[in-house]
Structure 1
Amino acid sequence: MAPSLFKSICLLVMTEYCYNEFFINFNFLHVDCLKALISKGLGYGIILGSIFVKVPQILKILNAKSAEGISLTGTSLEVFAILSNVAYSFVNRYPFSAYGDGFFLLLQTALVGFFVLLYGGKTQEALLYFATVLGFLGVLCSGFVPMTILWTLQASIIPVIVTAKTIQAWTNYTNGNTGQLSVVTFTLLFFGSLARIFTSIQETGDIIIIATYSVGSFVNFIVLSQILYYWNVPTKIKGKKKLLEKKTK
């Protein structure tokens, strides 16, 4: 590999200063540069993973042709939270590695909301829902919205996330199962939020964003715990129904 090409690739995940420290001065134990490199690597890894985070959830809905157990209110609040974070980070010109996963998560979460409405027999509302999310994304990222409003939206994410996941957790509890919620999706969301705490500290230093991911990790853990707890509940219920049917015959 040509030295110039190698350097160009390295500069995608590190600064010129860190490149010189690593490959000119051979100081591979430079603490700040190591932290920055790990953060960048994690950030891009999270972005790559985010492309598939909710695919298991979407496929589970499509295979079942049902969005049973998924709260549209909770999903919509999650859309609002992700949308606000992406717009705030984009307009602040934070590195894409610090928030890029939000863009892919936004599209996938909006699709989940779309399918909740679609399988609920509301096709027009489903199309309008997805189009509205894209419209708001364009407006908030346009640069015409004052930063004070974007900051307020970002600051409001914490109570929104708590409310959204609380609604979903309550839905799970009252149903006695987690319906079509995907354990793979929530596992990735939980660990992704944990990793984002570190990358946010390193790349933005924004206390609001750091707090947001901290709270997100906690509430994602709660829903993930419910999925694991209720893992075999639907199967057991189906089994009981079959036994009752046999007895009545």
Structure 2
Amino acid sequence: MEYIKDTPKLFFTEECISQYFSNFNFLHFRCFKETLSKSLGVGIIGGSLIVKVPQVVKIYKNKSSDGINITSVLLDLFSITAMASYSFTSGFPFSSWGDTVFLGIQTLAIAILCMHYSGDTTKATSFLVGYLVVISSIFAGLAPLNLLWALQTLNIPIVLISKLFQAHTNYKNGSTGQLSAVTVLMLFFGSLARIFTSIQETGDASMIIMFICSTTANAVIAGQLLYYWNREEAKSSNNDNKKKK
């Protein structure tokens, strides 16, 4: 019953609950921004439950990680883990960082599958055990906030580098390989929305800058996806025309 009572707090602050449902002041500007931010946050968390599932399924179904840059995946996992750890320890609202929990789980799955299908099953198992030990220690409060802040600050160049590795792989291969279009586009729009929620709910400069960088980098990958998709469509169409002739 308590959980049901607390449900409105996922979308409204105490002040906004009062403004909307007691004073019927639906034009309160600050409450509009806060409610929009919380609603976007909840939506992003909901989307994060499945955002990388298409990528996981695609790798598992094809039994291949072709076109996936493992360095990019591992850097992405580091970035997600650092942000989740820093946000949790800093006491930020769950709506501002909760998606990183589910993104981390799915990114970890991608990393393990990539290692496994590359013939490094032992490495994949060792990495999984080591990661779980590290993340358990962090969430048990064994890592000082200053260290987590330093790791969070490192996220800014790491996010850019990880995406540039993947962009370079796409460029070198002339295609986006096993990258999932759904995953790429959801990551772009999710990071774009996170710029606003970070400004509104945390005010943390390192997180805001990180999401601006992430959105820019995700836009590059999304642009490549559309570019190579159109090229493959045109190539396929030309081949069909040649066959008809």
**Does TM, normalized by the shorter one, top 0.5?**
yes
Amino acid at match of 1:149: L
Paired amino acid for 1:189: L
2:39 is aligned to: 41
How many angstroms apart in 2 are the aligned matches of 1:203 and 1:47? 15
Q: Would the aligned equivalents of 1:113 and 1:129 in 2 still touch at CA under 8 Å?
A: no
* Other-structure match for 2:140: 142
- In structure 1, runs of 5+ residues without a counterpart are 244-249
Number of residue pairs matched by the alignment: 237
Report what 2:15 is aligned to: 17
Q: For residue 96 of structure 1, what is the aligned residue in structure 2?
A: 94
Residue 10 of structure 1: CA displacement? 2.0
Indicate yes or no: 2:115 matched with 1:111.
no
Question: 2:169 maps to which residue?
Answer: 171
Is the contact made by 2:82 and 2:155 (CA closer than 8 Å) also made in structure 1?
yes
Contact 1:87–1:141 (CA under 8 A) maintained in structure 2: yes
Change in Cα spacing, 1:184 to 1:137, as seen in structure 2 (3 Å) is: same
Q: 1:127 to 1:6 in 2, by over 3 A?
A: closer
CA positional deviation for 1:13: 2.1
* 1:153 matched residue in structure 2: 151
The answer to whether the 8 A contact 1:111-1:130 is kept is no
Per-residue Cα deviation, 1:122-163 (whole angstroms, up to 9, x for no partner): 111112222222222222222221111111000000110111
Say if 1:104 and 1:214 are closer, same or farther in 2 by CA, change over 3 A. same
Shift of 1:114: 0.6
Give the secondary-structure state (helix, strand or coil) at the position aligned to 2:27. coil
- The 1:7/1:24 distance shift into structure 2, 3 A limit, reads farther
Q: Which letter maps to 1:108?
A: Q
User: Partners in 2 of 1:194 and 1:5 — Cα distance?
Assistant: 30
CA distance in 1, matches of 2:33, 2:109: 35
CA separation of 1:5/1:224 partners in 2, compared to 1, >3 Å: closer, same or farther?
closer
Residues 35, 234 of structure 1: alpha-carbon distance in 2 compared, 3 angstrom cutoff? same
Structure 2, gaps ≥5 residues long: none
Question: SS state of the match for residue 156, structure 1?
Answer: helix
Equivalent of residue 220 in structure 1, options 180, 194, 218 = 218
Whole-angstrom distance in 1 between the partners of 2:64 and 2:104: 21
Over the residues paired in the alignment, what is the CA RMSD in angstroms? 2.0
Report the Cα offset of residue 12 of structure 1.
3.2
Moved more, 121-130 or 185-194: 121-130
Counterparts of 1:86 and 1:8 in 2: how far apart (Å)? 23
CA displacement, residues 55-109 of structure 1 (integer Å, 9 cap, x when unaligned): 1111111121100010111100000000000000000010110000001001101
Matching residue of 1:247: none
Q: CA deviation at 1:232?
A: 5.7
Q: What's the counterpart of residue 186 of structure 2? A: 188
Task: Flag as ranges the 4+ runs of structure 1 deviating above 3 A.
Answer: 4-9, 232-237
Judge conservation of contact 1:53–1:185 (CA < 8 Å) in 2: yes
Q: Quote the sequence identity (%).
A: 44
How far the C-alpha of 1:224 sits from its partner, in A, is 1.1
In structure 2, the CA distance between the partners of 1:57 and 1:92, relative to structure 1 (3 Å rule), is same
Deviation at 1:6, TM superposition (A): 8.0
Task: Give TM-score scaled by structure 1 length.
Answer: 0.89
Whole-Å Cα distance in 1 between the matches of residues 75 and 126 of structure 2?
16
TM-score by length of 2: 0.91
Q: 1:6 to 1:117 in 2, by over 3 A?
A: closer
DSSP 3-state at the match of 2:10 = coil
CA distance in 2, matches of 1:94, 1:153: 17
Partner of 2:196: 198
